[in-house]
Structure 1
Amino acid sequence: MEVSPYTVAVPDAVLADLHSRLVNTRWPDSIPNAGWSYGASLDYMQELVAYWRDEFDWRAFEARLNAFPQFTATIDGQNVHFIHVKSPVPSAFPLLLLHGWPSSPGEFLKLIGPLTDPVAHGGRAEDAVDLIIPSLPGFGFSGPTTEAGWHPARMADGLAALMTGLGYEQFFVHGGDWGSVVASQLALRHPERVQGLHLTFLMTSGLRPEDGDPTEEESQLASDQAMYSMTETGYLALHASKPQTIAYSLVDSPVGLAAWIVEKLNKWTDNDGDLESVLTKDEILSNITTYWVTATGGSSGRLYFETAVAGMMGPAIERVEAPVAVAIFPQELYRSTRRIAEHNYNVVRWTPQQKGGHFPALEQPELLVADIRESLRELR
């Protein structure tokens, strides 16, 4: 596998075009005082876009990315971008960090220092890891996928090949959202190589007859999930059935892309009604701009379609037998209980967290770092 060094360097013309589009935004109407009840709040979107247009500094985020070693490789015909940070500790072991939608490796920047150099961040040398943080095929600086069939199993095989090319025969994997799904496929398809998983998001199949009656907690979770499925999964249905239709808006309109992502950030974070209590405008816009400058708003959504066509939506048919540590953040989308999860995963550690939602690496990085460290001690 040929690995090439990579530096993020978005052309000035791309940023100038973005600014022009933001200046000439054609805004929709909104019901007065609607807030977020109909979707992305018009008042908030106008405030965010004004900041994007007049104050946001993409070059500063580029510099943050470029402070870490980045590379690209061609795997199974697809360009794959990844950050690869080796620990200064010689005994460090490899950890693959996998993002989901609508995210990118930028989600994990706060974790890099504490995980690769724990002594410098109040930890112990024996907790040190080498980090490999790819952009999933179709996302971010990996660029759009160029052929059909890039579902989680194929991604898992591609990432296994990447780890081989980097010289790591065995490794651990952390994942949330689609990253958790791909991590599970890695453990199923390459069991001799995956030493353990750390997950914040689970795909489970529910109770079985031999489990008896649901607990009060399980009944509440089932009710919450039914309501979520009824009111919050329109995006999923569109991505899984007609991703090309929404792709025109996501690639042609920066405000359309921002609204599509920001509405999810607002709903999926543990923010008590104030998105910017957990994510700054710069963090929000760094992620959105990554999708914009790489034109991957449409191709990232194709992952849902490819997964559905492959018959892989929902829990995997096989149980993940690699040891799994689970961090349970209270505002995660699909919450479960340990006895339900154990039907689908070999759960060896189950740790409820005090606060946080679907993007813990951004929302609560200290809690996530601590849980990853403690989990990997047990998994090892």
Structure 2
Amino acid sequence: MSTVRPFRIDIPQAEIDDLRARLRNTRWAPSLPGADWERGVPTEYLREVAEYWATEFDWRAQETALNAFPQFVTEIEGLDVHVVHVRSPEPDAVPLLLTHGWPNSFVEFTRTIGPLTDPRAHGLDPAIAFDVVIPSVPGFAFSQAPRETGMTTATVARMWTTLMARLGYDRYGTQGGDLGAYIAPEMAVAAPEHVIGVHLDGGIGMPTAADVPAMSARDRAEWDEMQQWMTGGVDHHALLKAAPQSFAAGWNDSPVALLAWMLQKFQEFTPMAELAEDVIDRDHLLTNVALYWFTQTTGTSSWPMYDGLRDGGFAWPRDQNLVPTGVYGGGSPLMRTLADRGNKITHWPADNPGNHFVAMEEPTAHATDIRTFFAELR
């Protein structure tokens, strides 16, 4: 059970050919009235990206690039877990576990691996380097899906602490955004004696309705703006909590249905850009979409929604004051006040660039911020 086995991605050619045939044979839905993204992904834009996916996107090139990173599989709590594990050439590297988000995969971090593990090769101070561990969350990509309901972010965090011990690490940092922002602090709760610090992309200090009565007029205005932002777009939490099996039937059978869903969500996650691919390279986006297609994980990856993010329903990542916390996108004074109530905040920068998936959009800035936070904890 404790064996760590080498892993290599090798999608059969027949599956690649089948994907291209399905894309070519799409039965396109007619365009609905409305401008731009008012009714969802514009049909002409979707057709253009689908055509690119079928005729120009080179999966084999992306597969080769992914296989350049050492990958492994190991069984933890009855599930095979896929993990990218890249050791630094620097002798005093800090072990660092990165947890991806939804609807993302380990591909989220591929452009930050180099600056984190081999800073010397990227013109950075080699005194701050990391051994990087990037596991695929159960049900995502090449990690086995939960066999029963009841999987939680705390369970995954416990699995990750087992993984780090199995890889030989006693003291390490943890990092994540989106779904990863739930799992990273849970690792500190599970093993505070092993976790040196928690770095989050965001999702901390978020107010709730219970905080409203004590808010100032300025804070209440911010709360009202946040409500408009949080209720915009497609509520994937409600959708996937209610009927993930129904929606997965379409996403698992039609690559265009999957592509439309992914483009919709990444568009909503990049509010400061006109198009998601203006800030995230199209091939990077399609590599992530293709992984969901080839591994058939659009349904299995939805467990955070139907099992609930903590306590059976949606809630923001829980606080932990056991180890220091740093945040890439600190947020407003209101959020800092709320974050300080239950966390040891030691890093809260302002004006870091990027939208939601900053490791994909701003890999250099993301790696720099991680380096800055953990440099204070060595």
TM > 0.5 fold call: yes
Distance (whole Å) between structure 1 residues aligned to residue 353 and residue 206 of structure 2: 25
Instruction: Map Cα deviations across residues 158-186 of structure 1 (whole Å, 9 max, x no partner).
Output: 11110110011121011000001011111
How has the CA–CA distance of structure 1 residues 110 and 316 changed in structure 2, closer, same or farther, with 3 Å as cutoff? closer
Report if the CA contact (8 A) 1:89-1:128 is conserved.
yes
Q: Distance in 2 between matches of 1:10 and 1:70?
A: 15
Structure 1 residue 73: Cα displacement? 0.7
Deviation at 1:284, TM superposition (A): 1.3
Matches within 5 A, 1:67-146: 67-146=68-147
Distance 1:369 1:317 in 2: 24
Report the equivalent of 1:359.
357
* Partner residue, 1:285: 286
Q: Who is 2:376 aligned against?
A: 378
Structure 1 residue matching 2:373: 3-state secondary structure: helix
Count, aligned residues = 376
Deviates more, 1:198-207 or 1:370-379: 198-207
- Structure 1 runs (4+) deviating above 4 angstroms are 207-212
Residue 301 of structure 1 aligns to a residue whose secondary structure is: helix
Distance 2:264 2:132 in 1: 30
CA distance in structure 2 between the partners assigned to 1:139 and 1:336 by the alignment: 34
Which residues of structure 1 form unaligned runs of 5+? none
Percent identity among equivalent residues?
A: 37
AA aligned to 1:74 is: E
Matched with 2:28 is 27
Q: Which amino acid aligns with 2:120?
A: V
1:172 is aligned to 173
* Aligned twin of 1:337: 335
Q: Which residue of 2 aligns with 1:12?
A: 13
Please tell me whether residue 276 in structure 1 is matched to residue 277 in structure 2: yes
Cα 1:12–1:145 change in 2 (3 A) is: farther
**SS in structure 1 of the partner of residue 322 of structure 2:** strand
Instruction: Decide whether the 8 Å contact of 2:185 with 2:319 is kept in 1.
Output: no
Partner residue in 2 for 1:194: 195
Residues 326, 205 of structure 1: alpha-carbon distance in 2 compared, 3 angstrom cutoff: closer
Does structure 2 conserve the Cα–Cα contact (< 8 Å) formed by 1:202 and 1:341? no
Decide whether the 8 Å contact of 2:90 with 2:126 is kept in 1. Answer: yes
* Cα distance in 1 between the residues matched to 2:349 and 2:62: 33
Q: CA deviation at 1:344?
A: 3.6
The 1-side partners of 2:284 and 2:330 are apart by 20
Other structure's SS at 1:351 match: coil
Does 1:155 find its partner at 2:156?
Answer: yes
Residue 263 of structure 1 corresponds to 264
Q: Which amino acid aligns with 2:298?
A: G
Output the amino acid matched with 2:57. F
**Which residue of structure 2 aligns with residue 349 of structure 1?**
347
Q: Helix, strand or coil: the match of 1:342?
A: helix
Q: Is the 8 A contact 1:71 1:84 kept in 2?
A: yes
State whether residues 69 and 85 of structure 1, in contact with CA within 8 Å, keep that contact through their aligned partners in structure 2: yes
Query: Shift of the alpha carbon at 1:151?
Result: 1.4
Q: Distance between the aligned counterparts of 1:156 and 1:13, measured in 2?
A: 36
TM-score by length of 1: 0.93
Any conservation in 1 of the 2:207–2:335 contact (CA below 8 Å)? no
Contact 1:188 1:318 in 2 (8 A): no
- Structure 2 contact 157–183 (Cα < 8 Å) conserved: yes
Retained in 2: the 8 A contact 1:316–1:344? no
CA-CA distance at 1:308 after TM superposition: 5.2
Distance 1:12 1:273 in 2: 35
d(CA) in 2 for partners of 1:204 and 1:18? 42
Return the alpha-carbon distance in structure 2 between the equivalents of residues 344 and 233 of structure 1.
31
Letter in 1 for 2:50: V
SS at match of 1:186: helix
CA distance in 2, matches of 1:375, 1:309: 27
Distance 2:301 2:333 in 1: 24
Contact kept in structure 2, 1:204 and 1:314, CA below 8 Å: no
Q: Distance in 1 between matches of 2:350 and 2:339?
A: 14
Question: What is the match of residue 216 of structure 2?
Answer: 214
The one-letter code sitting in structure 2 at the alignment partner of 1:248 is A
Q: Is the alpha carbon distance of 1:272 and 1:209 closer, same or farther for their aligned partners in structure 2, counting shifts above 3 Å?
A: closer
Provide the residue aligned with 1:181 in structure 2: 182
